[in-house]
Amino acid sequence: MSLPPDTLSYSDLGGTKIEYSAPVDTSTDRSAAEVNLAFAATAEMTRTSLRTWFKFRVNGSGAPTLVSWDASWKGGTVTPPTFALIATGKYTVTLPATVLDEQGVSHSINLQAVTASICKSTDAVIGATYLLEPMILTANTIRLWVSTGAAAVTPLNSVITMFVV
């Protein structure tokens, strides 16, 4: 089972459990203290865990294309991100607004942080160093600007990887 794309609190997971009776068989039964610790750790992990990653190819003025991806909600909703080149060196990435988890429960996407990197395979600007500036525009949309520091550029035949929390 995967984590949902939103954060959970300890109380979302049922809060503190009280021992009704001591575990009869500790190889199969869990104490309330163990369950409380597991629920607390799970709630904490949902605050900063990776929600999705994806790679897309850019090639000059052509439309960006998906290379590969995965998401914490992929067990329930298999809708990949979509990409658009909106101007030279400027892209948008759109994820679904809502997704289903593996239990069929609907969750709204609410992106918190994003990072990006580029792998140049063949590029007209040999030795160019690219600056990638990803920014979350809406709860499910990312803007990415690619530049050489001085001017926006559209890299040729390069793969951009993004990690999203």
- Encoded tokens for 28: 């199969």
First-last CA distance in the chain: 18
pLDDT in tens, 87-118: 988 999 999 999 988 778 888 898 989 999 98
CA distance 81 to 1: 21
Residue 2: what pLDDT? 46
CA distance 132 to 144: 7
Question: Model-level pTM greater than 0.85?
Answer: no
Sequence ranges of the domains in the chain = 11-48, 52-164
Q: In which residue ranges of the chain is pLDDT below 70?
A: 1-6, 47, 120-128
